[in-house]
Structure 1
Amino acid sequence: MLFQSLKPGLRGTQPLDLIWLALGSVPMAEFAVHAKPAALVLDLQHGLWERGTLEAAIGAAAQRVPVIARCAENGPAAISQALDAGAASVLVPLVETVDDARRAVDACRYPPHGRRSGGGVRPLLAGIDAMLMADREVAVGLLIETVQGVENVEAIAAVPGVDYLFIGTGDLALSRGTHDPAVLERDCERVQRAARAHGLPCGLFTADAHAAHRAFADGYRMAVCANDIELVRQGFHSALAQAREEA
């Protein structure tokens, strides 16, 4: 198999603890793998990943943990690039309508089930049969991160071929025009209910391990326990603060 599949974890009942990587560092991805998360997320939308570093990070990680690629956009080129690199799953941003969801699913599947173009270095390493077998294990995740996405979430969750929903809390707050926790919690609960109604796991972007623990307690199946930007930022601040106190 080209990659460690995410689908067994999605079908299970255990929480899936994620490490989110945006800095584009292949060594950071290798360190993250050693922590044994349920999956790595490589942020291709807002992160610093380029095609070469993406291929290298997935090459270092994909046989050991599932790799989720947060695509740059909901389009065939962006989705195909992530899957051709060997990602086990794509997390498609800014899904707001049923048509958005269908377009994402179509871009993830080879004909006759979709419109993904066949090719790529990794998919063809073991031949066409292996490429088509790997296609069946690709997990399609949709990011619900706008007011319109929340308003349409019940219909979005019903689209065939969707494997999980994930809530982008930061963009959702921007879309709502408020960071009021009560307002955002209602939106998140609605997305979670829609996912459950259609037998889909629901994930939540969380800032740290404490927030992830709370998300799991609230019934979310996926949450971000650590992200590289915050770990590096906090590590530098903590080290300097400690050194200055001891000086």
Structure 2
Amino acid sequence: MFFRSLKPLLAGERHLHLIWLAMGSVPMVEFAAHANPDALVLDLQHGLWERGTLESAIGVANARVPVIARCEENSHSAISRALDAGAASVLVPLIETADDARRAISAGRYPPMGKRSAGGVRPLRAGLEAMRAADRDVAIGLMIETAEGVENVEAIAATAGIDYLFIGTGDLALSRGTSDSQVIGRDCERIVRAATANGLPCGIFTGNANAVRQAFESGCRMAVCANDIDLVKEGFVAAREAAARSEQDLGFSF
């Protein structure tokens, strides 16, 4: 096996802590993997990942932790590119209908279950039978992040072949035209209910420890406990503020 599978974790009962990485830094992926999260998410949709850095990042991480690739789009090329690089899971964005779900599943599975093409350096390394075996361990996650997706979430969650759902609250707020916590909260509750009714874990992007706790209390099984953009941004701000306080304690002004 050329990746650490996410499926055994999805089949369990415990909560899963994810680290989300968008900056395209392979060394940062290595540091994140050594923090021992349950999985890493590489954001190919909005992040800075290129094919070469994606291959390298998965290479340094996938022996330690499962790697989830959030694809650029729901297409055969985007999904196969992520899986050919060796990702343990694809997280497919902007799923709005059961047809969207079936298209994503087809792109993520080899025949006869789907239409994924054989290829990629890592999948081909051990031969055809190894590729078929790995196919059974690939996890396919679908992002519900629009008003239409919420309205169709029961049909989406009932689609055969899905391994987990994931809530994108940022795009959902844009789609709803509001960030009102009650409105978005009701949508999240509906998504979690649909996932649970179909025996699927549900994840959500969260920004801090308090939000992670609330997500787990609301029924989510997966939550983002850290992301590289916020960690770097907040780290620089905190360092600058600490330096300023130190200078002020010495009587210097700015």
So what's the TM-score if we normalise by structure 1?
Answer: 0.99
Contact 1:209 1:224 in 2 (8 A): no
Give the aligned partner of residue 199 of structure 2.
Answer: 199
CA contact (8 A) 1:208 1:227 kept: no
Counterpart amino acid of residue 77 in structure 1: S
Alpha-carbon distance in structure 2 between the residues aligned to 1:238 and 1:123: 43
Alignment pair present for 1:88 and 2:82:
no
- Secondary structure of the residue aligned to 1:143 is strand
Q: Of the two, which has the highest radius of gyration?
A: 2
SS at match of 2:41: strand
CA distance in 2, matches of 1:229, 1:183: 27
Structure-2 separation of matches of 1:63 and 1:209: 27
Distance in 1 between residues matched to 2:123 and 2:91, nearest whole Å = 19
Which residue of structure 2 lines up, in the alignment, with residue 151 of structure 1?
151
Contact preservation (8 Å) 1:105, 1:140: yes
1:116 aligns to what SS in structure 2?
A: coil
Q: Write the mapping of 1:68-217 to structure 2, written as runs, cut at 5 A.
A: 68-217=68-217
Q: 2:189–2:218: 8 Å Cα contact kept in structure 1?
A: no
Aligned residues: 247
1:56 aligns with 2:52: no
Partner of 1:14: 14
Secondary structure (helix, strand or coil) at the match of 1:142 reads: strand
Give the C-alpha shift of residue 219 in structure 1.
1.7
Deviations 1:25-65 (A, max 9, x none): 00000000110000000000000000000000000001110
What is the CA deviation profile of residues 67-111 of structure 1, one whole-angstrom value per residue up to 9, with x for unaligned ones? 000000000000000000000000000000011000000000001
Moved more, 12-21 or 210-219: 210-219
Secondary structure at 1:122 match in 2: helix
Instruction: Give distance in 1, aligned partners of 2:173 and 2:133.
Output: 39
Aligned residue identity for 1:246: S
SS of alignment partner, residue 74 of structure 1 = coil
Q: Distance in 2 between matches of 1:164 and 1:48?
A: 25
Shift of 1:210: 2.1
Partner secondary structure for residue 123 of structure 2: coil
Judge conservation of contact 1:96–1:150 (CA < 8 Å) in 2: yes
CA displacement at 1:209 relative to structure 2: 2.3
- Segments of 5+ residues of structure 1 without an aligned counterpart are none
| Secondary structure in 2 matching 1:225 | strand
1:147-184: CA deviation from partner (whole Å, max 9, x where unpaired): 00000000000000000000000000000000100000
User: What one-letter code is carried by the residue in structure 2 that aligns with 1:45?
Assistant: Q
Counterpart AA for 1:94: L
Q: Distance in 1 between matches of 2:37 and 2:17?
A: 6
State the shift of 1:8 in Å.
0.4
Cα separation, 2, equivalents of 1:28 and 1:209: 21
Cα RMSD for the two superposed structures: 0.5
- Partners of 2:214 and 2:98 in 1: how far apart? 30
CA distance in 2, matches of 1:223, 1:244: 34
In structure 1, give the amino acid aligned to 2:196. R
Quote the residue 1:32 is aligned against: 32
Residues 102, 159 of structure 2: 8 Å contact kept: yes
Gaps of at least 5 residues in structure 2 are 248-254
After TM superposition, where is structure 1 displaced by more than 2 Å over at least 4 residues in a row?
none
The alpha-carbon deviation at position 5 of structure 1 amounts to 0.3
